[in-house]
Structure 1
Amino acid sequence: MSATTVPSVTTVPPATTAFPPPSPKTVIPAPQHHPRGGDDAWTELVEAVRESGQYTTRSEAERVTRIVLSALGGHVIGDERVDLARALPEEAARVIAGQIPVTRRLTAAEFVESVAARIEGATPATARWDVSSVLSVLPRLIGDDLVTRVLAQLPAGYALLFGRADLSPAS
């Protein structure tokens, strides 16, 4: 066999030492899609937030979910950000991944205040409710190990927003 030349691409036949092709009985798994992908997973997330926050409408829960996840997306970086996006429904992953990383980490109180500034008519108390309503449902979706890794990146005080006891020593 000879090499076949295509404009700027050369195809070379496989070397004789390459692995043999799979036998007809070999099952090749289909490409993995987002583990919690699709509209159904997003709907389930929004419904979990709606129930957690006792919101009267799905649209209100969806609006709060988008705002809180977008705020969180700027604060989670590196492998944790990638793993968080992979663990969430596709729509939530887009919200997280679409954020530019912040240059200064906010304390938990400042984070809540930043969310309050994004929600018309919100107070720090209602924003804290909104943030907790969203973040407290995430451990069920992403797992405790990833929550622990995310919290390790954030300043003290965020654990309570995720529905965990904040056991970090006072500074």
Structure 2
Amino acid sequence: MTLRREAFLDQVKERGDYKDVQEADRAARVVLALLGAHLVGGVRAELAARLPEAFSLILLNPLQSAEPLSPERFVRATAAWIEGATEATAAWDVSAVLSTAADAAGDALMQQILLQLPAGYDLLFGRPQRT
């Protein structure tokens, strides 16, 4: 089931403790654009289908990445794309957006998503895995 844009942004806003929906929207756009560069094929398409249309389009037309970024570099890249962000605030942004996306994805799809990403992304999604 696809989340409505307002519901998705309300969750991101609450988790990110943003002062308004515009801040949540900006974080969601950057984080999902970066995430889209790391996912391929059916997994990316399936996650996109569960997100509001505006965000699914961003996920399907991602920022280009030459190589998969480690979780730390993903946070740094997020900080670079959000004006005035620090690594600490970017980590907050990433967590707010990816945990909301993880809820939309569900457990089975999250397992497939995490298989496509470098180790450590489970924590960014708020879904720590047993090792």
Interval containing the TM-score (normalised by the shorter chain):
over 0.9
Does 2:2 match 1:36? yes
Larger radius of gyration: 1
Which amino acid in structure 1 is aligned with residue 120 of structure 2? G
Q: Give the TM-score normalised by the residue count of structure 1.
A: 0.72
Counterpart in the other structure of 1:48: 11
How far does residue 97 in structure 1 lie from its aligned partner after superposition? 0.5
Counterpart in the other structure of 2:66: 103
CA contact (8 A) 2:94 2:124 kept: yes
Counterpart in the other structure of 1:80: 43
Which shifted more, 157-166 or 93-102? 93-102
CA contact (8 A) 1:76 1:101 kept: no
Where does 1:1-171 land on structure 2 (aligned, <5 Å)?
A: 35-36=1-2, 41-99=4-62, 102-168=65-131
CA contact (8 A) 2:29 2:55 kept: yes
CA contact (8 A) 2:33 2:63 kept: no
Write the deviation string for residues 30-88 of structure 1: whole angstroms up to 9, x where unpaired: xxxxx426xxx011101100011111111111111111111111111111111111111
How far does residue 101 in structure 1 lie from its aligned partner after superposition? 5.2
Q: Give the TM-score normalised by the residue count of structure 2.
A: 0.93
SS in 1 for 2:130: coil
- Backbone CA RMSD of aligned residues: 1.4
Which structure carries more helix by proportion? 2
CA contact (8 A) 2:13 2:20 kept: yes
Structure 1: 5+ residue stretches without partners: 1-34
Structure 2: 5+ residue stretches without partners: none
Which amino acid in structure 2 is aligned with residue 82 of structure 1? A
Q: How far apart, CA to CA, are the structure 2 residues paired with 1:158 and 1:110?
A: 11
Distance 1:51 1:121, change over 3 A: same
Q: Which fold has the larger relative contact order, with Cα–Cα distance below 8 Å and residues 6 or more apart in sequence?
A: 2
